[in-house]
Chains A and B, each alone.
Chain A
Amino acid sequence: GNSVTQMEGPVTLSEEAFLTINCTYTATGYPSLFWYVQYPGEGLQLLLKATKADDKGSNKGFEATYRKETTSFHLEKGSVQVSDSAVYFCALLTDSWGKFQFGAGTQVVVTP
């Protein structure tokens, strides 16, 4: 079946540090890939997405590239802020599965 694996958290960083959150997937068909962010006590918000191999999704300084050869969709940001503290979820959607599959989430804590 389909699955998404994310690096475990929490990831603790200082402000302006470089952030990477690893995400790898297993899927049949040709999945679309997503990163969602969840702030405390809230629902999930779409951060970025990519729908085919080699696509790069980007938003608010975050980037992720769809790598079919390594089945990965790692999230990166060059300089994090305290306001980036949240839980980040990697997810996939395939037409053969018919619903979203989420990773376990990675908590990111950015300190001043």
Chain B
Amino acid sequence: ETGVTQTPRHLVMGMTNKKSLKCEQHLGHNAMYWYKQSAKKPLELMFVYNFKEQTENNSVPSRFSPECPNSSHLFLHLHTLQPEDSALYLCASSQDSGQGSETQYFGPGTRLLVL
């Protein structure tokens, strides 16, 4: 359960605040992901980083800004969010072996409430 960690676990912020979510993986993986999980909706992929390079940006609003300084750390910077951005934000990592898609390991998530 400690392979992928996320901080903070809970966050309440106003619409004018700036905050950052942090994810760290201790599995030696080379790909990291941000997902948004809202009630009664599928997991929505937001960003993918492979070897620190962003490979996917799933039409995410610019008020969400990812940062991947190395293969073990991933951040999501939040700025002027809207109440509809309230959700569980999940980080995941996987190992690209070149043989095909691999299992993603998820962190515990950050539950975000935007007031």
Does B bind A? no
